[in-house]
């Protein structure tokens, strides 16, 4: 290969190949300065496959178009940072405004459908489940769907097992005591909470309309990785999964700009919520 190398040995043509590959597989845009990210995330795969470098990994991907390895590479490039009750103002808004309204509107069916899109290791979906239990919805028919592109993180989510450091982040001690029990060095979430949530591998770029209709969709801290067009398509799809008046909650650095005709932006306490028109 004649092309010059850029930092830490990734050839510049392979860097471009990886950028395009991850974009085509997951929609994730990785700029020109993410060498360290490719290096640190792909090194374990290189080692596991007994290869010498990321350039070898690129050659393998180009030669075989190996579905399994390709999937591993795309999943490795996702960022899965999450924690319990992340952005508490969202949970305050749900507790204070959405739940009282739904309790009234759905008193006959006692049924709620909620979706944690980009659920990662499950803390968001389980936070919702605990919030509902704490607010007297224990005898309701609650279905919470947690979805993510990465099947690896969903495997962890399904297990409902968390390390000490994870339960230390955002989870009130009262809820830890109530809903978890120690299991070796980890904490195991109770069956009651786990049964309220179902996890499924779903790429947000695919059509999502068959999933709904939901009362609430969390799609937080994932849009930041997409380009404007992908983002707009996803917001349109999410709109199609929501009941009229249903809520969409986005991450702090995200907005539903560009689809104003579909969502009304409202401020509830310290939270911004997008209400489906």
Quick one: 199 or 225, whose CB is closer to ligand SAM? 225
Residue pair 217/248 in contact by the 8 Å Cβ criterion: yes
Rg (CA), the chain: 20
Residue pair 94/48 in contact by the 8 Å Cβ criterion: no
Given candidates 14, 19, 55, 78, which one binds ligand SAM under the rule CB under 6 A?
78
Quick one: 12 or 270, whose CB is closer to ligand SAM? 270
β-pair type (242-250, 197-201): unpaired
Residue pair 265/256 in contact by the 8 Å Cβ criterion: yes
| 103-132 residues near ligand SAM, rule: CB under 6 A | 118, 120, 124
Rounded to the nearest whole angstrom, what is the least distance from the CB of residue 111 to ligand SAM in the complex? 24
43, 44, 47, 48 alpha-carbon torsion, rounded to 10°: -150
Quick one: 124 or 215, whose CB is closer to ligand SAM? 124
Residue pair 98/89 in contact by the 8 Å Cβ criterion: no
Quick one: 55 or 222, whose CB is closer to ligand SAM? 222
Which residue in 108, 113, 117 sits closest to 215, CA to CA?
A: 113
> What's 158's DSSP letter?
H
CA end-to-end span of the chain, whole Å?
Answer: 55
Quick one: 53 or 154, whose CB is closer to ligand SAM? 154
- Please tell me the distance from the alpha carbon of residue 57 to that of residue 47, in angstroms, as a whole number: 10
179 binds ligand SAM (CB under 6 A): no
| 201-220 residues near ligand SAM, rule: CB under 6 A | 203-205, 220
Segment interacting with ligand SAM, rule: CB under 6 A, options 40-48, 52-60, 75-83, 252-260: 75-83
Which residue in 56, 77, 76 sits closest to 14, CA to CA?
A: 56
| 133-162 residues near ligand SAM, rule: CB under 6 A | 148-150, 153
**Residue count at the site for ligand SAM (CB under 6 A)?**
24
Lookup result for tokens 């459908």:
113
Quick one: 53 or 237, whose CB is closer to ligand SAM? 237
| 7-66 residues near ligand SAM, rule: CB under 6 A | 26-28
| Chain contacts with ligand SAM (rule: CB under 6 A) | 26-28, 78-82, 86, 118, 120, 124, 148-150, 153, 203-205, 220-222, 225, 251
């Amino acid at each position: 290969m004649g092309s010059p190398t850029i930092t830490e040995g990734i050839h510049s043509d392979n860097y471009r190949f990886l950028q395009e590959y991850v974009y085509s597989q997951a929609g994730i845009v990785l700029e020109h300065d993410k060498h360290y990210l490719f290096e640190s995330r792909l090194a374990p795969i290189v080692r596991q496959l007994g290869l010498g470098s990321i350039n070898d990994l690129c050659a393998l991907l180009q030669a075989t178009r190996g579905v399994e390895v390709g999937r591993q590479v795309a999943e490795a490039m996702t960022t899965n940072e999450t924690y319990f009750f992340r952005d508490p103002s969202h949970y305050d808004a749900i507790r204070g405004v959405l739940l009282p309204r739904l309790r009234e509107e759905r008193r006959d069916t006692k049924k709620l459908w909620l979706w944690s899109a980009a659920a990662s290791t499950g803390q968001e979906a389980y936070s919702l489940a605990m919030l509902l239990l704490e607010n007297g919805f224990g005898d309701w028919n609650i279905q919470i769907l947690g979805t993510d592109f990465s099947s690896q993180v969903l495997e962890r989510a399904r297990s409902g097992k968390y390390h000490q450091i994870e339960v230390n982040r955002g989870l009130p001690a009262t809820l830890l005591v109530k809903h978890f029990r120690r299991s070796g060095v980890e904490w195991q979430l109770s069956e009651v909470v786990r049964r309220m949530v179902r996890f499924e591998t779903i790429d947000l770029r695919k059509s999502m309309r068959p999933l709904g209709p939901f009362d609430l969709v969390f799609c937080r801290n994932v849009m930041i990785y997409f380009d404007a067009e992908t983002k707009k398509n996803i917001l349109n799809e999410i709109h199609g999964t929501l009941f009229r008046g249903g809520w969409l909650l986005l991450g702090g650095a995200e907005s539903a700009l560009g689809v104003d005709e579909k969502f009304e932006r409202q401020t509830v306490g310290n939270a911004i919520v997008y209400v489906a028109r």
